[in-house]
Structure 1
Amino acid sequence: MRRWIERYFNPRQMSHCRYRIGSLSLLDKEEGMEEEREEEKEEGEQEEQMEEEEEEDKARRRRKAGGIGRGGRRRTRKRKTKKKKKKKKKKKKKKKKKKKKKKKKKKKKLLLTLALTIKVCGIFCF
């Protein structure tokens, strides 16, 4: 890779490039990435081994506690008494109140109102 870069790119001309090829920081970065990948793989393998060991330990504990084979604690089954279920109370439905309709006032005719006012005044000339 290093030879390929040196053959096709002139480091002095590529000074504007993001990675300066003269210092070959691009190659260093790639090597660092490879190391990180290897470390991640190793960590993943270690985690898998730890999980397998934990599962084996759990299985051993179950065998000991459950009484499979000899040894371990033997437990008698407890008989549980059934609890009486509580009856649920039925909720009463609320009755909806009927809205009272407002009575509309009758509009008096103009002539009638005039006649009434004239009557009240005492002048009755129609």
Structure 2
Amino acid sequence: MKLACPFTVALALALLPGCGSSISNLCEDRCDCTGDCSPDDEDDCIDNLEDAEREAVSQGCEEQFDEAISCVEDEFACRGGNVDVDGCRQEVDNLGRCTDLPTGLLFWAAIND
């Protein structure tokens, strides 16, 4: 699937406690949008986001991740079977500056794969 956002550093970091359902909801929304997710694909999305969350916490980037994940939840749009969160560029950039690239890409791949 083509990435809807033109940036390479992507969302990564940690959700605040109690936001685990956000991960599940985002993955479900992604699967609903693309229309080509198996149950395993949705589980992989959740696993990848949870891994990104753990990495973000370990890097001290919880606040940036919370801002980014909130933005993704607010801006999430499905356009022609592609996830579009273009309105989150600043939050994603802040996240990318805080965390390492592999963590950011793991998160972004979960949303856009």
The verdict on a shared fold, with TM-score over 0.5 as the criterion, is no
Which structure carries more strand by proportion? 2
TM-score (structure 1 length as normaliser): 0.20
Which structure carries more helix by proportion? 2
TM-score (structure 2 length as normaliser): 0.22
Task: Specify the structure having the higher radius of gyration (Cα).
Answer: 1
Higher relative contact order (CA 8 A, sep 6+): 2
